Chains A and B, each alone.
Chain A
């Protein structure tokens, strides 16, 4: 009983730790720029005091008056279609010069917060405001005051909007470009290794050939090779292939030696090959362990009926291995989708072909003070793996267990 409670508490804690950053991301992406910059995401759901700046009236809108009336919220919301400010006005930061008591004849600058209802002397007039935003500015003699910009603190009601998403998806072509690039990279980089691995796994599990076990040991031990170690030789290889391909291209198409016939060494194809190479050992290992556990009798009777290896593979092994194939494709998809470092070194580096993680990394520099935009792109990049995971989740758990728990 205690054990169960404890594990529930621990589970709840883990879920909490994982969910908080996600809530923070989504919340921030739905807030206004000012709000996301000046207060934490947890303040978004309750009235929060925020600073704003408004100007008392439009230039030239008043002439020789003794009273100017208006509403702070109306002034603030004039050009706003979204994130309209509402709530309760707390105070105005008053900045002005008053005669200095210590130095006669001189003035000194004072800054103080003036609460609602208190009269302050602004440009020779009496300025008073109410918590609901109404303000009056009275002059003893008719005058034409210039508009005054004032800093005001408002206990602001929660307000959300989708502006950040509109901006990154519609106004900024980088995000849609990066989404497309990421798909171009991820889909082949998932399908190619899983196809090769399925064939290899079948061979390792059910075909007899000399050195099979040793070969399998080598493949499995390749899993420990760190990706970073291989960047330089892999890049050198690609650059060699690219210059060879350029020469071939020149010979075939007779193009002049300029950039039109230059074959790029950093390309999507390079990423496919690299991701395939680094994904294969784990894929072969996972699938082989699953396939080796399939009932022997099934395969034997198929062979007695005269089925070839290829027929056994396509007609029996593949349909029975769907959970393992699905779980590995989730692995590979997530890994490639979230990969930054391979894409950074091997992938194309012109602005329109960047994959999503690189774009996010670049935005860290660009949008470091536009958190709402950064978070909106981050949420967009998260949606795809979440959809993939949820739609294949039921295979995922079965497939994971398949290799480890062999009941019979």
Chain B
């Protein structure tokens, strides 16, 4: 029976995928495009790692710039972007624009002097016009070879992590309300336990990357138990991993993940449940859990590959902050950083184009794309779910990038993962934090 349902799920998804999106004129946006100048015949080369539909959406959006200015945009995407861009930059073959998926590599390239500063005007604009604007500016600010800090990375196209997924049908049947504070969320979880339901599905197994889901939980909880500045110091290890703030956040995570009443299958199952299988518990009958905290991409792992969002079988709410902590609305996420690697007037005009609400709307209308740009018309979002996620982004008061992506590889993609897995298996928080700090000391 389960086998059959799976097969059918695939078939249904096939139908959804092949239906595709109606190709209306994406440049016909609610907001009008301002004057960008004329660059007839000039070519702007862009390198990035976006492929497939993302690449299609990118070129469609760029075509609006081509129409407005007469310039031509050449995008080359590769899954080996990180290796290729380093070779291109070091051998003077820079494209005009390089789109970095993570800030780490962009910072390295800035230090080698391969990036052109975008200027204070753009930084000021971003601080004023993006939700949690200053956070985005900080994310794109790196120091060059001389240690001078400049704004290099323009954030465009974002992902959201601080989401809790649930089944509206179940919430309605049980009479549960969407919590707006962490206190309410914990009260709701306890209520669910009292009702004989299991509140959470948590799974952190992911092959040789096992543990990353737990690091996302940790990061979200750090932002809810400590100030953003503390978070930044934690990321750079100015604040040691085994300090009280970090251990506290880990213990809060433990209140969820190591509570047999809270977790479907019991706390022992957390480390052995695949992150992709965990959300499926929301949709079994009877449901094995009521809520699942995971990034926006997870809907693709639902039994019907995300069709649940459209037909109302699944929904999400913002992973709320503590009302008592007064830390605003922190949001954890990711975003691609567009950097200028070869200066030209047309390239500068393209960055100007990316500040226009119209450019954001053009991409929003095509599919999976989130933006923190205030003033972009939310009606342009292709689906209601994207619109809701977009609202969370623009209403964020603090935005922070995934810490494990910012930490050195040996920590962020090593000790942090493996030690959090050990923590899920019962190792105590202080030992876990001490071990990660020891691993960090070892690479200094």
Interface residues, chain A, with chain B CB atoms under 8 Å away: 33-34, 37-39, 49-53, 93, 106, 109, 111, 113, 151, 153, 231-232, 235-236, 238-240, 243, 258-260, 265-266, 344-345, 349-351, 358, 361-362, 364-370
Chain B residues in 8 Å Cβ range of A111: 5, 285
- Docked-complex contact A366 and B52, CB < 8 angstroms: yes
- Docked-complex contact B14 and A34, CB < 8 angstroms: yes
Q: What 9 pairs between A and B have smallest CB-CB spacing?
A: A365-B51, A235-B91, A51-B8, A366-B52, A349-B76, A51-B11, A236-B91, A239-B92, A38-B10
Which B residue sits closest to A362, measured CB to CB? B51
Which A residue sits closest to B15, measured CB to CB? A53
Which A residue sits closest to B76, measured CB to CB? A349
Per-residue CB contact flags for chain B residues 74-99 toward chain A (1 = under 8 Å, else 0) read: 11111110001001101111000000
Chain B residues in 8 Å Cβ range of A93: 4-5, 8
The answer to the question of B312 belonging to the interface, with a C-beta cut-off of 8 Å to chain A, is no
The contact of B285 among A39, A51, A109, A366, by CB within 8 Å, is A109
- Docked-complex contact B11 and A34, CB < 8 angstroms: yes
Chain B residues in 8 Å Cβ range of A113: 1, 4
A-B CB contact pairs (8 Å), 6 listed: A113-B4, A350-B45, A366-B53, A368-B52, A369-B13, A370-B17
CB distance from B247 to the nearest CB of A (A): 40
Report the Cα distance A227→B13, complex, angstroms: 43
Per-residue CB contact flags for chain B residues 13-52 toward chain A (1 = under 8 Å, else 0) read: 1110110000000000000000000000111010100011
- Docked-complex contact B4 and A38, CB < 8 angstroms: no
- Docked-complex contact B93 and A51, CB < 8 angstroms: no
Per-residue CB contact flags for chain B residues 337-359 toward chain A (1 = under 8 Å, else 0) read: 00000000000000000000000
Chain B residues in 8 Å Cβ range of A344: 78, 80, 84
Which A residue sits closest to B75, measured CB to CB? A351
Which B residue sits closest to A90, measured CB to CB? B4
CB distance from A274 to the nearest CB of B (A): 13
Report the Cα distance A344→B93, complex, angstroms: 13
With A239-B92, A366-B51 known as contacts, the answer to whether A259 contacts B87 (CB < 8 A) is no
Scan residues 214-263 of chain B and give those whose CB is less than 8 A from a CB of chain A.
none
Chain B residues in 8 Å Cβ range of A34: 10-11, 14-15
- Docked-complex contact A153 and B8, CB < 8 angstroms: yes
- Docked-complex contact B76 and A345, CB < 8 angstroms: no
Chain A residues in 8 Å Cβ range of B53: 366
Report the Cα distance A142→B79, complex, angstroms: 59
With A232-B87, A365-B52, A366-B52 known as contacts, the answer to whether A350 contacts B76 (CB < 8 A) is yes
Report the Cα distance A362→B88, complex, angstroms: 19
- Docked-complex contact B87 and A345, CB < 8 angstroms: yes
Report the Cα distance A109→B88, complex, angstroms: 57
With A351-B75, A361-B79 known as contacts, the answer to whether A50 contacts B11 (CB < 8 A) is yes
With A37-B10, A50-B11 known as contacts, the answer to whether A362 contacts B43 (CB < 8 A) is no
With A38-B7, A235-B87, A350-B74 known as contacts, the answer to whether A259 contacts B18 (CB < 8 A) is no
Report the Cα distance A49→B75, complex, angstroms: 43
Chain A residues in 8 Å Cβ range of B7: 38-39, 49-51, 153
Chain A residues in 8 Å Cβ range of B41: 258-260
Chain B residues in 8 Å Cβ range of A238: 91, 93
Which A residue sits closest to B91, measured CB to CB? A235
Chain A residues in 8 Å Cβ range of B15: 34, 53
Which B residue sits closest to A358, measured CB to CB? B78
Which B residue sits closest to A260, measured CB to CB? B41
CB distance from B384 to the nearest CB of A (A): 21
Chain A residues in 8 Å Cβ range of B1: 113
With A235-B87, A259-B41 known as contacts, the answer to whether A362 contacts B92 (CB < 8 A) is no
Chain A residues in 8 Å Cβ range of B11: 34, 37-38, 50-53, 151
Chain B residues in 8 Å Cβ range of A260: 41
Report the Cα distance A139→B1, complex, angstroms: 30
- Docked-complex contact A153 and B51, CB < 8 angstroms: no
Report the Cα distance A259→B10, complex, angstroms: 47
Report the Cα distance A113→B84, complex, angstroms: 52
Scan residues 91-133 of chain B and give those whose CB is less than 8 A from a CB of chain A.
91-93
- Of A52, A111, A258, A260, chain B has the most CB atoms within 10 Å of the CB of A258
CB distance from B210 to the nearest CB of A (A): 23
Chain A residues in 8 Å Cβ range of B80: 344
CB distance from B345 to the nearest CB of A (A): 10
Chain A residues in 8 Å Cβ range of B87: 231-232, 235, 345
Which B residue sits closest to A110, measured CB to CB? B285
The contact of B91 among A37, A239, A258, A364, by CB within 8 Å, is A239
Which B residue sits closest to A239, measured CB to CB? B92
The answer to the question of B12 belonging to the interface, with a C-beta cut-off of 8 Å to chain A, is yes
- Docked-complex contact B14 and A38, CB < 8 angstroms: yes
Report the Cα distance A3→B112, complex, angstroms: 63
CB distance from B392 to the nearest CB of A (A): 28
CB distance from A392 to the nearest CB of B (A): 33
- Docked-complex contact B93 and A235, CB < 8 angstroms: yes
Which A residue sits closest to B8, measured CB to CB? A51
Beyond the given A38-B10, A39-B7, please list 4 additional residue pairs across the A-B interface where CB-CB is below 8 A.
A34-B14, A37-B13, A51-B11, A364-B79
Report the Cα distance A106→B74, complex, angstroms: 59
Which A residue sits closest to B86, measured CB to CB? A232
CB distance from A116 to the nearest CB of B (A): 15
- Docked-complex contact B42 and A258, CB < 8 angstroms: yes
The contact of A351 among B8, B17, B74, B92, by CB within 8 Å, is B74
- Docked-complex contact B84 and A345, CB < 8 angstroms: yes
Chain A residues in 8 Å Cβ range of B91: 232, 235-236, 238-239
CB distance from A228 to the nearest CB of B (A): 10
The contact of B90 among A232, A351, A366, by CB within 8 Å, is A232
CB distance from A287 to the nearest CB of B (A): 33
CB distance from A375 to the nearest CB of B (A): 16
Report the Cα distance A362→B8, complex, angstroms: 28
Chain B residues in 8 Å Cβ range of A38: 7, 10-11, 14
Report the Cα distance A370→B10, complex, angstroms: 12
Which B residue sits closest to A240, measured CB to CB? B92
CB distance from A72 to the nearest CB of B (A): 14
CB distance from B213 to the nearest CB of A (A): 22
Which B residue sits closest to A365, measured CB to CB? B51
Chain B residues in 8 Å Cβ range of A33: 14, 18
Chain B residues in 8 Å Cβ range of A366: 51-53, 55
Which B residue sits closest to A153, measured CB to CB? B4
- Docked-complex contact B17 and A369, CB < 8 angstroms: yes
